[in-house]
Amino acid sequence: MPPTLSEQDENDLSLGDIYDDDEYNILSAIETNNIIPNETATLLQEVTNNIVSNEATAQESTNMLPKNTEAELHPRKAPTVIDLTRQYTYEDEHIQASIDIFALMVKRDWGYSKSRDVLRKAYGVEPVEYDICSKGCKMFNDDDDSKDCHHCSTPRYKSGTRIAHQVMIYLPLKEQLAIFVSNVHIQELLKYRADRESSDIMRDCFDGGFYKDIKDKFQNKMDIALSLYTDDFQVYKRGKHTMTIVHFVILNLPEEVRYEDHNMIQVCIPPGPNKATDLNSFLGPVMRELNDLCEEGMIIRTDSGDVMLKAHLLFVGGDIPAVAKVAGHAGHQHYHGCRFCTIRGIYQNHRMTFPPIIKKKAQQQIEDQPAGNDSSNRTTNQQDNRLKPIIRLSHTYEKSDINVGQKYKSQFSELPTFHRATFFPIDIMHLLGLGIGKQLWSIIQGTYGAEMCPLYLSNAEQELIGTRIASSRSLTPSSFSGDCGDISFQSGFYRAVDWIHFVLYIVPTIILEFFTDEKTRKALIDLSNIYRYGFSREIDHDEISCLRSAVKCWINWLNEQVHDGKMSASVFTINQHYLTHMCKTIERDGPLPYLAAFNMERAIGELKKRIRSKRHPGKNAGNVLIELAAIRKRKREESIDINDDNDNDDNGYDGNGNELADVTPVKRKKMDVIILDDDPNSPEIWSPFAEATIRSLRCGERLRHFWAWHNGSYQGVTIDPNEIIETGSRLYNKDKNTYGGSIRESFVRLHIHVD
């Protein structure tokens, strides 16, 4: 038996000594096949000698090799080494062969599973498991001893055991907030709410009337204002499996970082597979924590000392069906289908509609006008009998009352910050994006009336509109989060943001010229103005009055078309009615973009990409919830490290003369365009702009070639890799084309103010 590594002189060690001389002498195989030259073999031998310089190191290295029953340090089989000698048959690949052979002696890094487990353990929040119905109907709280679901009668436990068929992972809100606030840098960001000054122009949700009413509840500068969003979503493209997200946003953070992914919080994902029948049961732990945070607060221990703070929920957002559940409302198919007011709907044309209630004087003027032939649209008598609606008060959410559409008590009515109807504000993403915008195109297509409808356009005209939209794609600014395709045959692929762009920009430019009637043109302009004011991040009282006027004109125009028989009465969906509550929502809660559910939809998209298990999707969803929370914590720490690095010298070195690592591009203030010269046909660089080092952009060599071409020689051309340069998103050239970067173009998002 050959001597062991510990017995052999380390200066005479070769790879051949590690393996059987007859079959696995690596150096012999290398020389025979001319894989590695002699000098390379000598270098490899020296490297190996350094690896096994002592007995302990040798033992650790050989433990990575296949074990043998006769002698652990002399394996009888080494298939990986055999493969190496056969794989590399060309002399120019000897370096890669050396690396692969060397890799056999080195302990491997952690795999994905182990890295994920370590990341989750480092997060610091212990998840809590709750038993739930296997069909997703309800959650069994701690004080619930029932053995069956009273909704579907499904057993809670597996047969003969006390093990639940399905559980839900819950990440406590208090602990997540504690981790979030424990960093000194985050603490400074949280003071944005207290340090900002309000003015006559509303620029945030803290400028709304409701926050001003409860401002005295925020006694500490770092007291947290929260918003909650919830919505159902389908996990798989094929097959039905519904889950629900419970999503929080910390409103204290400045606008530019508030909605970034690493600042989002999710506490639970009710795993389905069906929609939750009793959503309140799933929200039980959340409500208990919110009440404690409002009344008692919490003490957070940080490096700078203990911090006492409270947290208050300002509103609950989401689409109409989701918010109806948390509000305890019967939904938009009920006769009292509005969660804001007491309006009574009218069931006509096989659906529930909510036409406006017109005052008697205005009603008489409409009746005096000649009506169309379709008498089924005449609802004047029904409208006369309906009472004028009023905004619902807080106590109407505290108990079941079918006369106002309140199906059951809303848990949120128990919170000290509950403020009646506007606690469940309008979500403009679903209302104006997937609601009104999509419906407008249906009206143009003739869904609500063809021949007499003033907005109807023929198929040829629709195709012409689509062609014009498609031809303008090359001129779409980089500030848009995408470009609208040919709407005549791609409308089914339009996202909410595409429908918003359609009404905001395409209707007043391309669509408007297809109509000659002045009233019709004015109605379309009014609708576009509704979008303009609805998506304004800054709005004053005069603009709110303009919004109120635009909504009134649009609704009245629709009502005239319905009365004249030119349009179906089914056009008055609940979405059209909710337009009338936009102004009230802005006055109480602030500009609507700060209440929108865009951030929740992005979080849902991230969840859907990660939930892949079809055998145990609920368990997979819980693991993803923990994993994402841990990743977000890590990203927050990394972003803080980057900010600390940016506080150092601009020359890329710290105070000790050590070179700093590259940083990611830093966002700058919003700009519109950089024009290279005074020539109107000169190229333009479009926003948004960012700053990054030459090394991080990997453009040093290209810049060197450019300046050499510009100067006519490479002499004197030096590029500092630590120098910071400014980058744009798109280049608009004189050939009327736009050229985008492959790295940053895909995630550019920016709001443009339109006059």
Indicate the domain borders of the chain.
10-103, 124-318+598-640, 346-364+379-594, 666-747
Q: What are phi and psi of 325, to 5 degrees?
A: -65, -50
Residue 444 has pLDDT above 70, yes or no: yes
Peptide bond into 688 cis (omega under 30): yes
Half-sphere exposure at residue 153, Cβ-oriented, CA atoms within 13 angstroms? 0
pLDDT number for residue 57: 42
pTM greater than 0.85 (yes/no): no
Give the pLDDT band of residue 513 (cuts 50, 70, 90).
very high
Average pLDDT over residues 96-110: 64
Distance CA 312, CA 295 (A): 9
- Residue 14's CB: how many other CB atoms inside 10 A? 17
Q: Which helix (DSSP H) or strand (DSSP E) does residue 584 occupy?
A: helix 582-589
Q: 280-314: per-residue pLDDT in tens?
A: 999 999 999 999 999 999 998 877 778 889 999 99
Residue 124 has pLDDT above 90, yes or no: no
Q: Which helix (DSSP H) or strand (DSSP E) does residue 480 occupy?
A: none
Q: Checking DSSP bridges between strand 684-686 and strand 730-732, what pairing results, if any?
A: antiparallel
Instruction: Please state which of the ranges 161-165, 571-575, 579-583 shows the lowest mean pLDDT.
Output: 161-165
Encoding tokens for residue 628?
A: 């994402």
pLDDT number for residue 680: 65
Residue 24 has pLDDT above 50, yes or no: no
Instruction: Please state which of the ranges 248-252, 368-372, 470-474, 623-627 shows the lowest mean pLDDT.
Output: 368-372
User: Quick one: DSSP state of residue 200?
Assistant: S
The DSSP code sequence of 735-747 is TS-EEE-TTTGGG
Residue 660 has pLDDT above 50, yes or no: no
Give the pLDDT band of residue 600 (cuts 50, 70, 90).
very high
**Which has the higher per-residue pLDDT, 387 or 589?**
589
pLDDT number for residue 678: 62
Task: Give how far the C-alpha of residue 577 lies from the chain's centroid of Cα atoms, to the nearest Å.
Answer: 28
Average pLDDT over residues 383-395: 83
pLDDT number for residue 585: 96
Distance CA 428, CA 436 (A): 10
Q: Which of 234, 142, 148 shows the shortest CA–CA distance to 617?
A: 234
User: Quick one: DSSP state of residue 482?
Assistant: S
**CA dist list (Å): 34 to 21, 84, 89, 603:** 19, 13, 8, 56
Instruction: Please state which of the ranges 147-156, 296-305, 653-662 shows the lowest mean pLDDT.
Output: 653-662
**Please, which residues have CB within 8 angstroms of residue 238's CB and are 6 or more apart in sequence?**
none
Paired with 692 in beta bridges are 725
Give the pLDDT band of residue 675 (cuts 50, 70, 90).
low
Q: 60-72: per-residue pLDDT in tens?
A: 433 433 344 443 4
pLDDT number for residue 372: 46
CB 362 within 8 A of CB 552: no
Distance CA 65, CA 104 (A): 7
pLDDT number for residue 704: 84
The DSSP code sequence of 362-384 is HHHHHHHSPP-S-GGG--HHHHH
Residue 748 has pLDDT above 50, yes or no: no
Distance CA 563, CA 456 (A): 17
Residue 643 has pLDDT above 70, yes or no: no
pLDDT number for residue 684: 74
Paired with 234 in beta bridges are 242
Distance CA 265, CA 87 (A): 50
